[in-house]
Copies of this chain bind each other. A is one copy, B any other.
């Protein structure tokens, strides 16, 4: 039996080494689409474990589950990297209404923003001042804001093709709205959900009070886009209407959590590390299938596909599932801190944190030489309709690795549907398409394969790409 095994194995590796890059990449895609594991892993993560907010039982279970699954893959090393994380809890479901006269109320859908303080126990009721952005606060001044709830209602720009740019142009209201409104005496903040479509889901996400003392902080909530439109329309008819909301979220002491890490040691350059990852934590609404269960299970499948296809990486390939991207970035910071302590040499890091949709390409944070080298590989991706190779941001968790030499990259899937689900109760497994997820895993694997094979800044190697 053993003899036969080695014979077959030998034939397979022999065949592998003679394969062109075109052939290897074809195999990667075919294997991912026919024998991928990302969808099954995500099914478990989403449907058996569920949401994974830092410090929650779900997060703890996700750490245990993904570690166990990585161990089954027979990697060279699997470990947990301890990191203390913030623990914010939503408490009872929020409740809100618009009041046009005593007793005349209309319920609306809200959710507390991550990190928000609670309202008073009996809730908070006040008049509302609607603004389109932070800069309007100064124009309005304290006399128009003090004692009121500030309603930030600037919508995402629907004409932008890159929806992340629409998000970037809008999210200051959520991130800094409360912090800024406090300066003018506001008693609460309601923010239009970061959502390009009109629907009934409020979308959470972090708000940041900066160094505002805890006893000065005001509660902040997101309101669904439909109800933001409703509130705005009603304010036009009656600027004296009142808004009531009640939430009892709170910040608890930090708790112990972990980054989950597994690696295959490189055969030639074991000290050169390639990271592929996503973040294991999610918000507490929905089950975080797109954000970022997808990125985690795709990253796990990158290392699994490499092993299953018998690719022996020259460099060390490490899958990292970062903890606490959503409300603290502690995992990404800890990983980079330890890497620096150990003087680890990271040559490349790839993050998938833009949803499990059809992959379109990557954005790269790289020097000119490395980026030009990457562009040489672009045609290898043509058969897979991967066309987007642009410079730009990579991912929040791998950002702290940036040191002037490491090349950082982010998977860029089609972004049109992402903000339909982002941070909301409908970010669930049903919103995932198996093929789209698997194409993403394959695309990541193909890039990792090329980076491992050719390295960066190695001019000798570049022209040797076999097509």
Interface residues of A (CB under 8 A from B): 29-30, 33-34, 158-159, 161, 163, 196-197, 358, 360, 383-385, 387-388, 414, 416-417, 420, 433-436, 439
Contacts and interface: CB of A to CB of B under 8 A. Distances in A.
Contacts of A163: 435
Nearest to A388: B385
A196 B435 contact: yes
A29 B435 contact: no
A358 B412 CA distance: 14
A416 B433 contact: yes
Nearest to A163: B435
A385 B358 contact: no
Given A385-B388, A417-B436, 15 more contacts: A29-B159, A30-B159, A33-B158, A34-B158, A158-B435, A161-B383, A161-B384, A161-B439, A197-B435, A358-B414, A387-B387, A387-B388, A416-B436, A416-B439, A420-B433
A466 to B, nearest CB: 21
A383 B160 CA distance: 10
B414 A433 contact: no
Contacts of A197: 434-435
26 contacts: A29-B159, A29-B161, A30-B159, A33-B158, A34-B159, A158-B435, A161-B383, A161-B384, A161-B385, A161-B439, A163-B435, A196-B435, A197-B434, A197-B435, A358-B358, A358-B414, A360-B385, A385-B388, A387-B388, A414-B414, A416-B433, A416-B435, A416-B439, A417-B433, A417-B435, A420-B433
A416 B359 CA distance: 11
Contacts of A383: 161
Contacts of A388: 385, 387
A112 to B, nearest CB: 28
Nearest to A160: B33
State the number of copies, please: 2
A159 B33 contact: yes
A197 B437 CA distance: 13
A360 B416 CA distance: 13
Q: Which of A388, A433, A439 has the most CB of B within 10 A?
A: A433
A388 to B, nearest CB: 7
A160 to B, nearest CB: 8
Pick the most buried of A384, A417, A436: most chain B CB atoms within 10 A of its CB.
Answer: A417
Ranked nearest first, the 5 interchain pairs of A and B with the lowest CB-CB distance are A30-B159, A387-B387, A416-B435, A33-B159, A33-B158
Contacts of A29: 159, 161
A454 to B, nearest CB: 24
A436 B358 CA distance: 13
A436 B30 CA distance: 27
A434 B158 CA distance: 11
A255 B435 CA distance: 41
A411 to B, nearest CB: 15
A416 B358 contact: yes
Contacts of A420: 433
A197 B36 CA distance: 13
A388 B197 CA distance: 27
Contacts of A33: 158-159
A196 B439 CA distance: 14
A199 to B, nearest CB: 11
Contacts of A439: 161, 416
Nearest to A420: B433
A453 B143 CA distance: 56
A193 to B, nearest CB: 16
A383 B439 CA distance: 23
Contacts of A433: 416-417, 420
Nearest to A384: B161
Nearest to A437: B416
A191 to B, nearest CB: 22
A358 B414 CA distance: 8
Contacts of A161: 29, 383-385, 439
Contacts of A34: 158-159
Contacts of A414: 358, 414
A105 to B, nearest CB: 30
Nearest to A36: B158
A34 B158 CA distance: 6
Nearest to A161: B384
A30 B436 CA distance: 27
A450 B73 CA distance: 53
